[in-house]
Amino acid sequence: MRSNLITCPHCGKTNRIPTAASGHPRCGNCRKDLPWIVDAGDTDFAEIAERSSTPALIDFWAAWCGPCRMVSPVLDKLAQERAGRVKLVKVDVDKSPSLSRRFDIQAIPTMLLIRDGKVVARQAGAPPAAALRQWLDAALAAGQP
């Protein structure tokens, strides 16, 4: 099982959190919800995104993509603001040809919201931060039991 180090935005403690787990990560020190931001690719996408019990926001990006560099910090911020409610999963399209084909990624960045293994929302291109926030909140609200 891979893990990432994430600094708690509330108390500053460094936490080691797994890339996949049931539920969502909390700070070992202050117990607040931690932002969950992980990388995934062709081999581990099913485990990290499709079997996630927390809705997964997928960011298809590439190192050479200018708009991706604009969207990436916005997504990081949204993952922080919505800690515990969403898991941000970053997929480098150049390293994940199977996923790119399977999800028919024509433009990057493309964002997907996956809940219980199903794509419930899709957004291509790089909208302004406010529009992206609205899209994510609508996507998170859609299909809730």
Contact positions toward Zn ion, by CB under 5 A? 8, 10-11, 13, 27, 29-30
Q: How many CB atoms lie within 10 A of CB 77?
A: 14
CB of 77 to Zn ion, least distance (A): 18
| Distance in Å, CB of 67 to Zn ion, minimum | 33
**CB nearer Zn ion, residue 14 or residue 43:** 14
Q: Which is nearer to Zn ion, 27 or 58 (CB)?
A: 27
Half-sphere exposure of 85 (CA within 13 A, CB side): 12
68 is catalytic: yes
3-class SS at 61? Answer: strand
* Residues annotated as catalytic (active site), given as ranges: 65, 68
